[in-house]
Structure 1
């Protein structure tokens, strides 16, 4: 396994952890009350979800073999 592929796997795992925390934060009662009043989640929750998805996509693209 190349170091680049190992780094991609690590980035994808870290992204899934951030996504997990973001989704758990969006299910919290205080976050749901805030979302009901304002119509959107807090900035921290959105950054966790968006950053987690982005890191998972970037890590998966780094970990998958290239077709060169």
Structure 2
């Protein structure tokens, strides 16, 4: 059961990371970064959350 949860966490983490990068690379985000230098919190949250899910998923699959 732990391996199934781990695989699901890895899949969710990869999807979150890609979605976060997509938000980061969107046209509106590029304009915002150009004007005031800030990256949307939504992009950072998705990328960091995806990375955390991948790490926890890897530990579940490994252990």
TM-score when scaled to structure 1?
0.84
Q: Which residue of 2 aligns with 1:29?
A: 27
**What CA distance in whole angstroms lies between the structure 1 residues aligned with 2:11 and 2:30?**
27
Q: Which residue of 2 aligns with 1:40?
A: 38
User: What is the aligned residue count?
Assistant: 63
> Which segments of structure 1 move beyond 6 Å, counting only runs of 4 or more?
none
TM-score when scaled to structure 2?
0.90
What's the C-alpha RMSD, in Å, of the aligned pairs?
1.0
Greater gyration radius: 1
Q: Which runs of 5+ in 1 are unaligned?
A: none
CA deviation string 1:4-60 (max 9, x = no partner): 111011011001000010011111111011112232311111100110011111101
